[in-house]
């Protein structure tokens, strides 16, 4: 919303636009440059302060009536004074700006000269040349090794596939998990509980494995076996594979050969600690791996990883 002064200036502009023959004198108490300039720009023919004398008002009216411009002496004096001071203020600012540019530019020139001079000295120095010679030599040796393996393998693969030389075999990439490198026969992989012929666990819940386990990750709850000739049976047999260190002590300690680590399964995982606890039912369902170590049972999927 414009101020009262703004409204008057706008009114002046409208009057002068629609009826340019009308003469307008701004009678106001403001004498700042900004207001005077705005009023004159809007088309005011005179700018008179409210404290003007009767004679001054008469002179203003006559001058404007004759088609001249009139400014109160106070206003014109103020305008001249501010113009002179502005000029004085601008010059030192410009000088400061020029001086700052000279100082900054000179500083940068000095820094670049030092950097370029220093870089040249470093490039020409004997230690730098020795390092560069060493680096170049190492790079060339590396390229040579890579090229040797690349061309040797390419030649062997060409012999094998094009010329049918079965004994020539180049390096191969194993396409895991579709292809697997054979595991060592003594590899300790995911545990399994061995079953009797009737499918019940061979384990007699003697607690030997739980006792010997250094990670304390076996939990057994024993129960009476329905067969009086067998002392006990594990009602619950959990292994926390999140804690297991795969030492194999449980397998070694078992007097019944009821627990083994021969499933060949190594890729078990879970989103949670609870998912790493394998129960008796899961362990009983696992089968031994093939002689080359390939698992025959699918990797058990914990409940938290099953698709919902
Ligand atoms: S392999 Fe070792 S750490 Fe793992 S359950 Fe058996 S005894 Fe415990
Ligand atoms: S797995 Fe073997 S050592 Fe462990 S409780 Fe069963 S019988 Fe005992």
Residue nearest to ligand 1 atom 4, measured at CA: 244
What is the mean pLDDT of the segment spanning 148-159? 92
Instruction: Report residues whose beta carbon is within 6 angstroms of any ligand 1 atom.
Output: 213-215, 217-218, 239, 244-250
Is there a domain that residue 85 lies in? no
Ligand 1 pocket mutation pick from 208, 245, 266, 283 by most atoms within 8 angstroms of CB = 245
pLDDT score recorded for residue 75:
80
pLDDT score recorded for residue 1:
39
Is there a domain that residue 21 lies in? yes
Is there a domain that residue 203 lies in? yes
Length of the chain: 308
Residue whose C-alpha is closest to residue 25's, from 74, 71, 73, 56: 71
Residue 238's alpha-carbon distances to 156, 212, 241, 307, in angstroms, are 51, 15, 9, 23
- From the CA of 192, how far away is ligand 2's center (Å)? 12
Give the lowest-confidence range in 40-44, 278-282, 294-298: 40-44
pLDDT score recorded for residue 84:
65
Rounded-to-integer distance, Cα 158 and Cα 215, Å: 52
Give the lowest-confidence range in 10-14, 83-87, 254-258: 83-87
- From the CA of 289, how far away is ligand 1's center (Å)? 19
pLDDT tops 80 at residue 67: yes
Name the pTM for this structure: 0.50
Helix or strand holding residue 237 (H, E): strand 232-240
Is there a domain that residue 41 lies in? yes
Last-in-domain residue among 77, 96, 117: 77
Instruction: Write the pLDDT tens digit of every residue in 75-114.
Output: 887 777 766 666 555 566 678 878 888 888 888 888 888 8
pLDDT tops 80 at residue 31: no
pLDDT tops 90 at residue 241: yes
pLDDT score recorded for residue 90:
53
Is there a domain that residue 166 lies in? no
Q: How many domains does the chain have?
A: 2
Is there a domain that residue 270 lies in? yes
- From the CA of 256, how far away is ligand 2's center (Å)? 7
Atom of ligand 2 nearest to the CA of 201: 6
Average predicted confidence (pLDDT) for the chain: 87
- From the CA of 251, how far away is ligand 2's center (Å)? 8
Residue 204 Cβ inside 6 Å of ligand 2? The answer reads: yes
What is the mean pLDDT of the segment spanning 39-68? 86
Helix or strand holding residue 61 (H, E): helix 54-65
- Ligand number, closest to the Cα atom of 247: 1
SS3 content of the chain, % helix, strand, coil (to 5): 45, 10, 40
Q: Reduced to 3 states, what is the DSSP secondary structure of residue 201?
A: strand
Atom of ligand 1 nearest to the CA of 261: 1
Is there a domain that residue 227 lies in? yes
The domain that holds 69 is classified in CATH as: 3.40.50.2300
Q: Is 36 exposed, middle or buried (0-12, 13-18, 19+ CB in 10 A)?
A: buried
Share of residues in the chain with pLDDT > 90 (%): 37
pLDDT tops 80 at residue 232: yes
Domain membership of residue 33 as a residue range: 4-77
pLDDT score recorded for residue 85:
64
Is there a domain that residue 200 lies in? yes
Rg of the chain's alpha carbons, rounded to an integer?
50
Last-in-domain residue among 55, 77, 99: 77
pLDDT score recorded for residue 111:
85
Instruction: Write the pLDDT tens digit of every residue in 128-152.
Output: 888 888 888 889 889 999 999 999 9
pLDDT score recorded for residue 91:
61
Last-in-domain residue among 54, 77, 100: 77
- From the CA of 56, how far away is ligand 2's center (Å)? 121
Q: Is the dihedral of CA 136, 140, 142, 143 positive or negative?
A: positive
The domain that holds 293 is classified in CATH as: 3.30.70.3270
């Amino acid at each position: 919303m414009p101020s009262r002064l703004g409204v008057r200036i706008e009114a002046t502009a409208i009057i002068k636009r629609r009826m340019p023959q009308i003469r307008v004198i701004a009678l106001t108490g403001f004498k700042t440059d900004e207001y005077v300039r705005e009023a004159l720009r809007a088309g005011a023919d005179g700018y008179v302060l409210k404290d003007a004398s009767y004679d001054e008002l008469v002179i203003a009216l006559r001058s404007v009536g004759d088609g001249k411009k009139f400014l109160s002496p106070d206003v014109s004096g103020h305008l001249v004074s501010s113009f002179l001071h502005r000029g004085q203020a601008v010059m030192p600012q410009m000088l400061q700006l020029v001086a700052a540019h000279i100082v900054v530019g000179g500083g940068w020139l000095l820094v670049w000269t030092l950097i370029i001079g220093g870089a040249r000295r470093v490039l020409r120095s004997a230690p730098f040349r020795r390092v560069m010679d060493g680096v170049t030599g190492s790079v060339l040796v590396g390229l040579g090794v890579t090229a040797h393996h690349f061309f040797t393998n390419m030649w062997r693969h060409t012999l094998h596939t094009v010329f049918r030389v079965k004994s020539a075999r180049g390096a191969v990439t194993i396409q895991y998990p579709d292809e697997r490198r054979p595991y060592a026969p003594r590899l300790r992989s995911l545990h399994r509980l061995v079953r009797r012929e009737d499918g019940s666990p061979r384990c007699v819940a003697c607690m030997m494995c739980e006792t010997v386990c250094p990670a304390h990750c076996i939990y057994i709850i024993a129960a009476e076996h329905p067969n009086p000739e067998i002392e006990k049976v594990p009602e619950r047999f959990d292994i926390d594979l999140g804690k297991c260190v795969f030492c194999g002590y449980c397998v070694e300690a078992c007097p019944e050969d009821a627990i083994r680590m021969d499933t060949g399964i190594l890729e078990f995982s879970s989103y949670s600690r609870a998912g790493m606890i394998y129960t008796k039912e899961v362990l009983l369902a696992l089968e031994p791996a093939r002689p080359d170590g390939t698992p025959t049972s699918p990797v058990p999927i914990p409940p938290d990883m099953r698709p919902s």
